[in-house]
């Protein structure tokens, strides 16, 4: 197919999708493997089947089946895992798996170190890995998306905002499906990938996942976008090149009035003037002994987002200041305060890229649809059914 014909077909396809409201025509079941409690050095955990029956597979052989009554314990023993049932040891194995169907659920509690129990859908497997138990939750993609949505969006928000988060979570998961592939799973359950704490408690999240089934966000070349979002933009989002160094067509700075009256819109911090100037001098070689530079440092303003605090040829990257001083954002101003201090007055919370969660929540309460919200915070994007993507991509 010639390039131009293919391009025209792509455009027609997108128009058709938009016309028909992006209905999914078919969605095959897909599973994803998530390493859970990946930040902990787990040596003992227990499982309790909340619903349904699970087969227990040990080193490839089915050794038992379990339902609600039994409590199974998994303990690290060197490079193996000891399995016990109601405190009776069943054996020691290299690889254990609890296999059920996706709609069943299981309660998992980390015993050492002691953590609160969580409920997971899908299968659980475990093996010894460098002095810890590697626990993998194999789960249907959309059930994982639902779990991520609650972990990232919180509960008790609007149905429309849940829809936005499910689409972003799905886009992120599929764009990073190979992130941990060399370690034997797709994604971890920490913010390194996406936060995931098991089955969500708010059932409306499953409705949102179903309503957006298969939908992902792509850029103008039909590539999955890097679905960045943050808590509050402070009234203006940021450009990707100013935060991450690489330019994208969809992470562009926009004026965002929806975020400015929300909880994380403003913050303040006081600091000794001496400490501030010393920090600029030592860490960034900023010439604070020069009167003009000192004035800039003590009267810094950002009517709109800047990337540097600068004077002549000296530049201090604001993202470094944010990181070093652990500020909520780079969108701040500086003014003298009292005799010996400065006041840092900031706007927003987070890196400022892509969707502002608090602004999006406000939009949803004002009646905007999830498609309006995504198109407001991401530029030049399309919502598309992921199963049709490969057909229209160049080989």
Interface region with Zn ion, contact rule CB under 5 A, candidates 182-190, 199-207, 280-288, 358-366: 182-190
Interface region with Zn ion, contact rule CB under 5 A, candidates 48-56, 181-189, 226-234, 293-301: 181-189
CB nearer Zn ion, residue 72 or residue 172: 172
Report the C-alpha gap between 152 and 149 in whole angstroms: 5
Nearest to 96 by CA among 66, 141, 52: 66
Strand pairing partners for 124?
Answer: 98, 137
Number of residues that bind Zn ion (CB under 5 A): 3
| Whether the Cβ atoms of residue 157 and residue 149 lie closer than 8 Å to each other | no
192 contacts Zn ion (rule: CB under 5 A): yes
Strand, coil or helix: what is 17? helix
Shortest distance, position 33 Cβ to Zn ion, whole Å: 12
Whose structure tokens read 């708010």?
202
188 contacts Zn ion (rule: CB under 5 A): yes
Shortest distance, position 176 Cβ to Zn ion, whole Å: 8
Site string for Zn ion, 271-300 (x = CB under 5 A): ------------------------------
Interface region with Zn ion, contact rule CB under 5 A, candidates 13-21, 83-91, 130-138, 190-198: 190-198
CB nearer Zn ion, residue 145 or residue 193: 193
Nearest to 304 by CA among 367, 370, 237, 250: 237
CB nearer Zn ion, residue 6 or residue 192: 192
Q: Which of 42, 167, 193, 360 binds Zn ion (CB under 5 A)?
A: 193
Interface region with Zn ion, contact rule CB under 5 A, candidates 185-193, 258-266, 310-318, 321-329: 185-193
Interface region with Zn ion, contact rule CB under 5 A, candidates 120-128, 187-195, 222-230, 343-351: 187-195
Rama region for 368: left / alpha / beta (φ>0; ψ in -120 to 50; rest): beta
CB nearer Zn ion, residue 193 or residue 334: 193
| Whether the Cβ atoms of residue 197 and residue 188 lie closer than 8 Å to each other | no
Gyration radius of the chain over CA positions? 25
At residue 151, φ and ψ (nearest 5 deg) are -65, -35
Strand pairing partners for 88?
Answer: 85
Report the C-alpha gap between 216 and 378 in whole angstroms: 13
Contacts with Zn ion, residue ranges (CB under 5 A): 188, 192-193
């Amino acid at each position: 197919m010639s390039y131009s014909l293919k391009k025209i077909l792509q455009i027609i396809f997108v128009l058709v999708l938009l016309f028909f409201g992006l209905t999914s025509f078919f969605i095959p079941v897909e599973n994803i493997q998530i390493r859970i409690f990946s930040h902990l050095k787990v040596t003992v955990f227990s499982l309790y089947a909340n619903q349904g029956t699970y087969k227990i597979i040990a080193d490839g052989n089915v050794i038992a089946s379990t339902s609600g009554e039994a409590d199974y314990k998994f303990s690290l023993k060197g490079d193996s895992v000891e399995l016990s049932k109601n405190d009776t040891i069943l054996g020691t194995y290299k690889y254990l798996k609890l296999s059920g169907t996706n709609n069943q659920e299981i309660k998992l509690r980390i015993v050492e170190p002691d953590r609160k129990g969580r409920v997971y859908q899908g299968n659980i497997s475990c093996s010894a890995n460098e002095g810890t138990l590697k626990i993998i939750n194999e789960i249907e993609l959309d059930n994982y998306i639902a779990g991520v949505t609650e972990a990232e969006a919180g509960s008790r928000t609007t149905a429309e905002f849940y829809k936005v988060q499910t689409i972003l979570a799905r886009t992120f998961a599929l764009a990073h499906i190979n992130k941990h592939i060399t370690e034997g799973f797709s994604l971890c359950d920490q913010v390194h990938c996406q936060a995931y704490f098991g089955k969500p408690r708010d059932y409306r999240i499953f409705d949102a996942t179903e309503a957006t089934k298969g939908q992902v966000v792509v850029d103008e070349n039909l590539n999955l976008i890097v679905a960045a979002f943050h808590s509050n933009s402070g009234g203006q989002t940021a450009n990707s090149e100013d935060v991450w160094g690489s330019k994208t067509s969809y992470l562009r700075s926009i004026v965002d009035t929806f975020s400015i009256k929300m909880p994380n819109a403003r913050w303040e911090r006081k600091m000794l003037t001496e400490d501030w100037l010393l920090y600029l001098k030592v860490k960034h070689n900023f010439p604070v002994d020069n009167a003009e530079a000192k004035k800039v440092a003590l009267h810094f303003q950002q009517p709109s987002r800047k990337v540097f605090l600068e004077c002549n040829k000296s530049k201090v990257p604001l993202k470094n200041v944010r990181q070093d001083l652990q500020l909520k954002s780079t969108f701040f101003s500086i003014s003298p305060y009292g005799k010996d201090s400065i006041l840092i007055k900031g706007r927003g919370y987070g890196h400022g890229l892509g969707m502002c969660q608090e602004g999006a929540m406000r939009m949803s309460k004002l009646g905007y649809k999830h498609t309006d919200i995504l198109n407001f915070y991401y530029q030049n994007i399309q919502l598309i059914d992921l199963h049709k993507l490969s057909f229209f991509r160049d080989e």
